[in-house]
Structure 1
Amino acid sequence: MRAVFLERESLDRGDLDLSGAEAAVDEIVYHNHTSADQVLERITGFEIVIANKVRVSRQDLEQARPKMIAVVATGVNNIDLDACQELGITVVNVRGYGTDSVAQHAIGLLLALATRLIDYHRDVQQGEWNRSAHFCLLDYPIVELAGKKLGVVGLGTLGGRTAELARALGMEVLSAQRPGGKPQPDRVPLDELLPQVDALTLHCPLTDDTRGLIGRRELAMMKPTAFIINTARGGLVDEEALVEALRQRRLGGAGFDVLTEEPPRSGNPLLDDDIPNLIVTPHSAWGSHEARQRICEQLAENIRGWRNGEPVRVVV
């Protein structure tokens, strides 16, 4: 039983233990990166395909006919699932591996915005503290999060863990009604939640109901001092509208780990260097060593389960 890993570097930079997956098959062939036009050539002759974000099309599947696709991510929109179902190809994914890593990152972004960490660090590097007439610099407003309200959109595993960390900081947590979902007594409709919160954190998937969830209208409802955090998916927030709100000081700050296009080869309005109190990180919230090692362990479990006739984490 042979396996091919199409995008090893998207998961492992030489710091992970993949021995479990290697022991579950007779051979693994590794490729650090695979482009869409290389997929067919590289998966032909292999029973198991290990992929992350590269697109695996119906044409690739019909010609190569692998038996299993192991996705080392939760999202599987890059795999033609209809074709897999028709061809009898099992698709599995990994789940729940990055809860602490993502929640930590979301709170880290919020803390950095509230303390103006980036701005003060930059001023120190540029010698502003050396030239100060006083023992300290207080050029940017610092906000205590204790006693403030955090709105959570998507109170699942990730949103729930983020809410737990926020409560430890003394914040009050409000949960938004799930877009497109049935009303729930412990959830607040988004239009009612936005004017109340001092910070908003997004943890929902990108769907037809959530695309453009936070646009000009919604941003205008928020306090001019409020922060918005997005470690979920690009496309949940209108990026042009967000930049406009930040530049016009109609929002306190924003911390984003995701963009509409990743990597942003065509540019992105959030990448301009003159936007006040904006922090953008490169979709790295999930990427702690511990979280990535859990992916390796789940990958091994997925392969072993499938080979033993007891597949786990099955998508198709």
Structure 2
Amino acid sequence: MQIVVLDAKTLANTDLTPIAKLGTLTSYDMTAYEDILSRCENAEVIITNKVKLDAKLIASLPKLKLICVAATGVNNIELEAAKAHHVAVANVAGYSTPSVVQHTFTMLGNLMTNIHRYQQDCHAGRWQQSSMFCRLDYDISEIAGKHFVIIGHGALGEAVANVAKAFGAKVIIAERKGATQVRNGRMAFTEALRIADIVSIHCPLTAETENLIDDAEFAALQGHAFIINTARGGIVNEQALVNALNNNQIAGAAVDVLTHEPARTDNPLVNYQGDNLLLTPHIAWASKEAIARLVNEIALNINAFASGTDRNRVV
């Protein structure tokens, strides 16, 4: 079986032996669109994280049998084209849950404790200048007792909810925006935002969730609220977030994802200079353990396909 990895660099040099055991493996760090055809002309299996495979490419690869997406989202694959050409598509879900949960609370803890500011002060010699044993220049808040609103209550949202409860937070699951009925155990979207102390986003990016958090939603939040986005960049309107931070509509935000990645120089969040924003480069998913699980899951998907078994099949 001829297997080609198009963007192995996104797997952080993780050992690909579990995949290599299944066939002849050719791995490229990154692949430009114009090189895909020549690199994959003999491929039966293509593994891609973010490299896009459109209808034209899929139609031009007659030997291709399986596309393995090294992620959960499959928006980089033209699924209808794959189906039309009898090419299977499989993804991986759940592999990064512990990593994303940890990153969510790492960012939240930094924000609510102002650790990043205190660390800067220590490196700048300000602790040495203190008139007492500590410094109390910036607010420190606890998660315990706070209204912790979760948007997106799949496996990941539920895992975040469990940790929030362990911290002593009052967890609230927000209903879908615009829903006419509120399901048991949930709270209407806008009502949840109005009482939120913390908002953590864990829903997918779809036509319904694009700009889910915009000017009106920031206006609904309390001034002491924190918002965390480790889901997808387009869910939160980035200029609206900057406006909310500048106008003290919220206390702070932590963002791991942007609408366009890698970040563009004109992105309003990249250019924001305030101390109440933490920005990380889409790494919430990327613990070494999570990536190792991802590689193993891809190997299992390929092996299942070769055995005639459906596993994590999208198409």
User: Into which bin does the TM-score normalised by the smaller protein fall?
Assistant: over 0.9
Amino acid at match of 1:6: L
**Equivalent position SS for 2:278:** strand
In 2, the alpha carbon distance for the partners of 1:211 and 1:7 equals 27
Q: d(CA) in 1 for partners of 2:163 and 2:313?
A: 31
Residues 262/119 of structure 1: CA separation in 2 closer, same or farther (3 Å cut): same
Task: Write the deviation string for residues 279-311 of structure 1: whole angstroms up to 9, x where unpaired.
Answer: 011110000111111111111101111111113
| Counterpart residue type for residue 223 of structure 1 | Q
Q: Quick one: distance in 2 between partners of 1:149 and 1:244?
A: 23
* SS of corresponding position for 1:208: coil
CA distance in 2, matches of 1:218, 1:122: 32
Contact 2:177 2:190 in 1 (8 A): no
Superposed CA offset, 1:119-140 (max 9, x none): 1111111121122222211111
Match of 1:290, as an amino acid? E
- 1:38 alignment partner in structure 2: 35
Q: How far apart in 2 are the matches of 1:284 and 1:238?
A: 20
Structural mapping, 1:138-153, within 5 Å? 138-153=136-151
Using the alignment, how far apart are the partners of 1:256 and 1:29 within structure 2? 35
Query: Aligned-pair distance for 1:46?
Result: 1.1
Question: Which residue among 59, 64, 67 is the counterpart of 2:61?
Answer: 64
Distance 2:182 2:140 in 1: 36
Q: Which amino acid aligns with 1:55?
A: K
Residue equivalent to 1:47: 44
SS at 2:51 equivalent? coil
CA distance in 2, matches of 1:37, 1:132: 59
In the alignment, structure 1 residue 28 sits paired with structure 2 residue 25: yes
- Aligned equivalents of 1:299, 1:179: Cα separation in 2: 34
Which residue pairs with 1:97 in the alignment? 95
What is the aligned counterpart of 1:170 among 158, 168, 171?
168
Q: Paired residues, what number?
A: 313
Determine helix, strand or coil for the equivalent of 2:233: coil
What letter matches 1:40 in structure 2? L
Q: 8 Å contact 2:242–2:272 — kept in the other structure?
A: no
Give SS of 1:141's match: coil
Whole-Å separation in 2 of the counterparts to 1:179 and 1:69:
34
- The amino acid across from 1:293 in the alignment is A
1:194 aligns to what SS in structure 2?
Answer: helix
Distance 1:224 1:301 in 2: 47
TM-superposed deviation, 1:195: 1.2
Residues 247 and 276, structure 1, Cα contact 8 Å, conserved in 2: no
Name the CA distance, whole Å, in 2 between partners of 1:183 and 1:39: 47
CA distance in 2, matches of 1:40, 1:128: 58
Q: Note the alpha carbon deviations across 1:195-221, whole angstroms, 9 max, x for none.
A: 111100000011111111111111111
Deviates more, 1:220-229 or 1:257-266: 257-266
After TM superposition, which residue ranges in structure 1, 4 or more long, deviate above 4 angstroms? none
Helix, strand or coil at the partner of 1:64: coil
Per the alignment, in what secondary structure is the counterpart of residue 293 of structure 1?
A: helix
Correspondences of 1:211-290 after superposition (within 5 Å)? 211-290=210-289
Measured against aligned partners, the alpha-carbon deviations of 1:81-125 in whole angstroms (never above 9, x if no partner) come to 111100000111111101111011111111111100111111111
Look up the equivalent residue of 2:312 and give its one-letter code. R
Query: 1:92–1:313: 8 Å Cα contact kept in structure 2?
Result: yes
Q: Contact 1:205–1:233 at 8 Å: present in 2 too?
A: yes
> Contact conserved, 1:231 with 1:256, CA < 8 A, in 2?
yes
Superposed displacement of residue 265, structure 1: 2.8
What residue is the counterpart of 1:2 in the other structure? 2
Alignment of 1:76-95 (within 5 A): 76-95=74-93
Shift of 1:180: 5.7
Deviation readout 1:52-99 (Å, 9 max, x if unpaired): 101111111111221111111111111111111000001111111011
SS of the equivalent of 1:173 reads strand
**How far apart in 2 are the matches of 1:22 and 1:303?**
11
8 Å contact 1:246–1:276 — kept in the other structure?
no
Q: CA deviation at 1:171?
A: 0.5
1-structure distance, mates of 2:98, 2:268 = 29
Distance (Å, rounded) in 2 between the aligned partners of 1:175 and 1:46 = 44
Rounded to whole Å, the distance in 1 between the matches of 2:127 and 2:268 is 31
* Root mean square deviation of aligned Cα: 1.2
- Following TM superposition, by how much is the alpha carbon of 1:273 offset from its aligned partner in structure 2, in angstroms? 4.8
Q: Distance in 2 between matches of 1:219 and 1:231?
A: 18
